[in-house]
A and B are shown apart, each in its own frame.
Chain A
Amino acid sequence: MTKIVTFPSGAREPSSKENASPLATFKGVDKVFGNQVTALAGLDLEIRSGEFLALLGPSGCGKSTVLRLLTGLAAPTRGEILWSCERPEFGFVFQEPTLMPWSNVFSNVWLPLRLAGVPKDKARPRVEEALAQVGLSGFAKAYPRQLSGGMKMRVSIARALVTRPSVLLMDEPFAALDEITRLKLNDDLADLQASLGATVVFVTHSVFESVYLAERIIVMAARPGRSFAEIGVDAPAPRREGFRLSAAYADTCRRTSAALHLAMGETPPTELTE
Chain B
Amino acid sequence: MTRDDIVGYAVPALTLGLGLVVWEGVVRYFAIPPYLLPAPSVIIATLFTDWWTLSSSLWVTLSITLKALIAAVIGSVTLAVIFAQSRLVERAFYPFAVALQVTPIVAIAPLLLIYLTPTVAVLVCAFLVAFFPLLANTTLGLSSADHNLVELFQMYRATRFQQFTLLRLPSALPYFLAGLRISGGLALIGAIVAEIAAGSAGQGSGLAYRIVESGFRLNIPRMFAALLLISVAGITIHVFLTALSHWLLHEWHESERASEA
Contact = CB atoms under 8 A, between A and B. Distances in A.
A102 B173 contact: yes
A115 B162 CA distance: 7
Contacts of A90: 155
Contact of B156 (A94, A103, A112): A112
A152 B166 CA distance: 19
B17 interface: no
Given A98-B146, A100-B167, A100-B170, A111 B156 contact: yes
Give the interface SS of chain B, mostly helix, strand, loop or mixed: helix
A143 B155 contact: no
Interface in A76-92: 90, 92
Contact of B153 (A71, A103, A115, A143): A115
Contacts of A245: none
Nearest to A107: B166
Nearest to A101: B252
B175 to A, nearest CB: 13
Given A73-B154, A90-B155, A116-B156, A145 B148 contact: no
B252 A92 contact: no
A42 B137 CA distance: 45
Contacts, number: 48
Interface in B216-261: 251-254, 257
Nearest to B158: A115
Interface residues of A, number: 19
A96 interface: yes
A101 B146 CA distance: 10
B156 A115 contact: yes
A143 B254 CA distance: 12
Nearest to A113: B156
A98 B162 contact: no
Contact of B155 (A73, A100, A145): A73
Interface of A: 71, 73, 90, 92, 94, 96, 98, 100-103, 111-112, 114-116, 143-145
Given A71-B155, A73-B155, A102-B251, 18 more contacts: A90-B155, A92-B155, A100-B149, A100-B166, A100-B170, A101-B253, A102-B173, A102-B252, A102-B253, A111-B152, A111-B166, A115-B153, A115-B158, A115-B162, A143-B251, A144-B252, A145-B252, A145-B254
Contacts of B167: 100
B157 interface: yes
Contacts of B149: 98, 100
8 smallest A-B Cβ distances: which pairs?
A98-B148, A115-B156, A102-B170, A101-B252, A115-B158, A102-B252, A112-B156, A94-B148
A112 B152 CA distance: 9
Contacts of A73: 151, 154-155
Nearest to B173: A102
Nearest to B148: A98
A144 to B, nearest CB: 7
A114 B167 CA distance: 13
Given A101-B252, A101-B253, A102-B252, A96 B148 contact: yes
Nearest to A116: B156
Contacts of B162: 115
Contacts of A115: 153, 156-158, 162, 166
A143 B257 CA distance: 13
A92 B167 CA distance: 18
Contacts of B158: 115
